[in-house]
Chain A
Amino acid sequence: MDFTLSKEHEMARTLFREFAEKEVKPLAQEVDETEQFPRATVDKMGKLGFLGIPVPKEYGGQGCDPLTYVMCVEELSKVCGTTGVIVSAHTSLCVDPIQTYGTEEQKAKYLPDLCNGNKLGAFGLTEPGAGTDAQGQQTKAVLDGDEWVLNGSKCFITNGKEADVYIIIAVTGVVEKRGRKMKEISAFIVEKGTPGFTFGTKENKMGIRGSSTYELIFTDCRIPKENLLGQKGKGFNIAMHTLDGGRIGIAAQALGLAEGALETTIRYVQERKQFGRSIAQFQNTQFQLADMATKVEAAKMLVYKAAMKKAEYQADHKTSYSVEAAMAKLCAAEVAMEVTTKAVQLHGGYGYIREYDVERMMRDAKITEIYEGTSEVQRMVISANIIK
């Protein structure tokens, strides 16, 4: 077992860190305050290839491994949780399913523009009555001649109004499994601008406020027959597999938030003086930081392991990274929440003030325990693998 990162990965981290410090950090507070989607930053990331890191070069990607992608989301999230999730949702939830399940035509049509930032991706599974319970889907797709007709709505969609290409999960019929009637679910590629595809409410969120979270509405929205992604009826598997990958991205976001809060706090406690000395000299501070650093390191190991397991899967589809991804997300999200909360506490009153980054980081961290499968769902995935 080798815990040393390769020189390539170290240099990639340097690149992502430099970009995050120069281009992302200066805007993070404003993005949060104004709920402004950081379009200029996304364009810059597109030009640098950050939006297609784990995609083969033949489709316009960077041809790197999942670990490099994870490090990108991690470094971005250290300074801005919003920017981290934009890249994660785009890459894991839209680019990845097209790369994994798309036909050659679909890959050639969509991947180059998604990788170079000409287009941004999103994923629509969640509905008002179907979040964690994906079988509760109400959105329907009916084949009419050469077109699928979509009706229904999706909610809480990251990159909602800013995306151009959407992976949409919808019910295409009813099938019988072991004597029970089940919804047949399929996946589709829907482009922005398709008649009948509109946007509903923009969500006013606690954290990741710059990410564009919208309701998607489909009213007799007709898409070409060839926009079915993967096989008809395999949509549930596609969605679940996509979320496995998405969880690694969110785990990386959570890890970045925790690391960012820890780094900020380490600097702060050395500057802040109380009772004539820096608060870093108090044993309580030292012990708190020791716990925070240890948990962050543990989370990092799980997140990187999940990314490496995904690379194994890409080389051999017989392996699975579902449990590793669930463990990474569960641990990193809970560490992010704990570490950012402690970071606010160590900042005292200043930690509660908007000008201080840890206040935003704590709000941003909460969602990592909820989206792309709550911590409870991760526990279900993990325990199902233990008790068979």
Chain B
Amino acid sequence: MKVVVCIKQVPDTKGGVQFNPDGTLNRAAMLTIMNPDDKAGLEAALRLKDQYGADVTVITMGLPKAEDVLREALAMGADHGILVTDRVLGGADTWATSTTLAGAIRNLDYDLIITGRQAIDGDTAQVGPQIAEHLGIPVISYAEEIKIDGDSVIVKRQYEDRYHSLKAKMPCLITALSELNEPRYMTPGGIFDAYDAEITVWGRANLVDVDDSNLGLKGSPTKIAKASDKVRKGSGEKVTLDPEESVAYIVGKLKDKHVI
């Protein structure tokens, strides 16, 4: 069984967010982590490795320094790492990203592709399903539980107020929620092995069946008009009243704002 996990290096929001003049994130200037939903997807794949001996390949598109997130995945137990990096791929939106990743994955044998539901930097939840669309395979999103049943997967899918239990024939794509599991830690020895391991680096030339018009900033239909950090809220209005007066005051304010 061969599993491909798409992972993304995202800004560690604890370290603050910085933007480029064109409104895209200045990834080079920020501390980074493995996207939490992707980490849960990787853990799900590693459990398939523990249980069924699955061969796990992690793939990421990004700057050369995104290699670090692949090493982290290897230190957790993934078998192979592929970095897709090329200047022409920079500034990609979800469409260009999914086109790129699908173009890379076409080089691989796979039974299952796992992606995170969404990345904490873009929050679009589009790349996973788009990859499935490009590759013409079924997709089950928002997975909270994954089981293998012969040549199929059975997935407990989170819905707004219930769960769906869905079965799909492999090959298929699953998008994982961080609630899916508690990702394992790396091991100290695993870290040193990960840095000895070879990472496969692919560029534009390695992408199969993709058109240049669908790649990078130029191939991205989404244009960011403006981006900014969150504006801090003011301290608000403070009043000191006894409980009865407080109730009247609050109700009055809510009425003024037509909340009630």
Contacts and interface: CB of A to CB of B under 8 A. Distances in A.
B224 to A, nearest CB: 31
A15 B189 contact: no
A322 B185 CA distance: 34
A130 interface: no
Interface in B32-80: 68, 71-72, 75
Contact of B187 (A6, A7, A18, A62): A62
Interface string A62-81: 11100010001000000000
A49 interface: yes
Nearest to B193: A63
A11 B185 contact: no
B137 interface: no
A57 B193 CA distance: 11
Contacts of B188: 12, 15, 48-50, 53, 62, 64, 68, 72
Interface of A is mostly: helix
Nearest to A18: B185
Interface in A1-34: 6-8, 11-12, 15, 18-19
Contact of A57 (B68, B71, B185, B189): B189
B189 A11 contact: no
Interface of B is mostly: helix
Contacts of A8: 191-192, 195
Nearest to B192: A8
Contacts of B192: 8, 12, 62-64, 68
B191 A12 contact: yes
A53 B190 CA distance: 11
B186 interface: yes
B195 A49 contact: no
A62 B68 contact: no
A15 B185 contact: yes
A61 interface: yes
Contacts of A49: 187-189
A11 B187 contact: no
Nearest to B188: A62
B240 to A, nearest CB: 20
Interface string B99-119: 000000000000000000000
A277 to B, nearest CB: 17
A61 B185 CA distance: 17
A7 B189 contact: no
A50 B72 CA distance: 17
Contacts of A64: 188-189, 192
21 contacts: A6-B195, A7-B71, A7-B195, A8-B191, A11-B72, A11-B75, A11-B191, A12-B192, A15-B75, A15-B185, A18-B185, A19-B185, A48-B185, A49-B189, A53-B188, A57-B189, A62-B187, A62-B189, A64-B189, A68-B192, A72-B188
Given A11-B68, A11-B72, A72-B188, 9 more contacts: A8-B195, A11-B71, A11-B75, A11-B186, A11-B194, A15-B186, A63-B189, A63-B192, A68-B188
